[in-house]
Chains A and B, each alone.
Chain A
Amino acid sequence: MYIILVGGGKVGYYLTKTLINEGYEVFLVEKNPIKCHTYGERFGSVIMQGDGAEAVTLAAAGAARADVVIAVTGEDEDNLVICQMAKEKFHVGRTIARVNNPKNEELFRRLGIDVTVSQTNVILSLIEQQIPNLPFVHLMSLRHADLAIVEAKVAEHSPILDRPIERIELPPETIVTAIVRKGGVIIPTGQTIVRSGDELICVTKREREGALQELLGI
């Protein structure tokens, strides 16, 4: 698999290093000539100085045969254009963009970027998971159809307590995929009874999260 990376900051540098070690064919494009020189000494000839949004640069980097283009510069507008140029002009199958401003994640997907990675959102969600007793935690957002995997704790006063799942009216487009109870994991069936303090791992649409929280008494 041939991967082109654009942007040799901290993310680009370590990503290049990791991907090379994992045996991928990697090529890094970086604007700053001084950085290119330093990295060149470490990585050898897999680095090129240039502007990754320019068609000539992408062509020289071999974009026409690239399987993946990853744009990880510090500027969102550059990452967007790099990925769109890769897609539209070189028909690269998969484009991945780093999103510096989390507000842009949604926009990038709408504009055809295959995968977006927002450091801010990733860090936020990791920290959230580590805070004890948070009743509602986003575990993961899925790209398609605005789905999310959430972990929600059933409150003592929740209206669904002590009822089997088949008799609980969950919000539309929501399913309970697992229940964490006293450290153990239960894969629920319709007959599984929900207890106070259970943590439900649910797949749900983002717009249903509010209704789900209400149902669980959060």
Chain B
Amino acid sequence: MRVLIIGCGRVGGLLAGRLSDFGHDVSVVDANSRAFRRLPEKFPGRVVLGTGIDEDVLRTAGVEQADVYVAVTEDDNTNIMSAQIARSVFGIDRVILRIYDQARAAVYRQLGLTVICPTTTVAGMIEDEVLRSSSTTTRIP
């Protein structure tokens, strides 16, 4: 599978390393060259310096051959725009993006994008833990 990842932060870097370990053909785009230090030392994939919202940069990164597109930069709006370029300009069906803001996440999910919202996910997990601990611990009166 050919995967294009926009944003080489902690999530993007980790994902790129893991997917290429599984034998997938991975390309990573980031506007900051220092971000690529997060990739594993012998990362076999392609690395492209540039913004993920520029069609020419994406072409260089092989967007036209990509099966899956992942937008995980630190900026919600950049991810949103990048994901929509992938879908409407390059016709990629499998587009996954991260949006921290839950209101925006809901809107773009409704528009048919696959949105991961860490805010709701993490809050939900913590909530589960909180509720579990409150039901198992007995408070000393």
Contact = CB atoms under 8 A, between A and B. Distances in A.
Interface string B98-118: 000101100100110000000
A111 interface: yes
A75 interface: yes
Interface of A: 53-56, 75-78, 80-81, 84-85, 88-89, 101, 103-104, 107, 110-111
B103 A80 contact: no
B84 interface: yes
Contacts of B75: 77
A107 B88 contact: yes
Nearest to A51: B101
Contacts of A76: 53, 81
Main secondary structure of the interface of B (DSSP, over half): helix
Q: Which of B54, B84, B111 has the most CB of A within 10 A?
A: B84
A87 to B, nearest CB: 9
Contacts of B101: 53-55
Contacts of A77: 53, 75, 77-78, 80-82
Contacts of B84: 80, 107, 111
A216 to B, nearest CB: 32
A85 B104 contact: yes
B74 interface: no
Contacts of A107: 55, 84-85, 88-89
Contacts of A55: 101, 103-104, 107
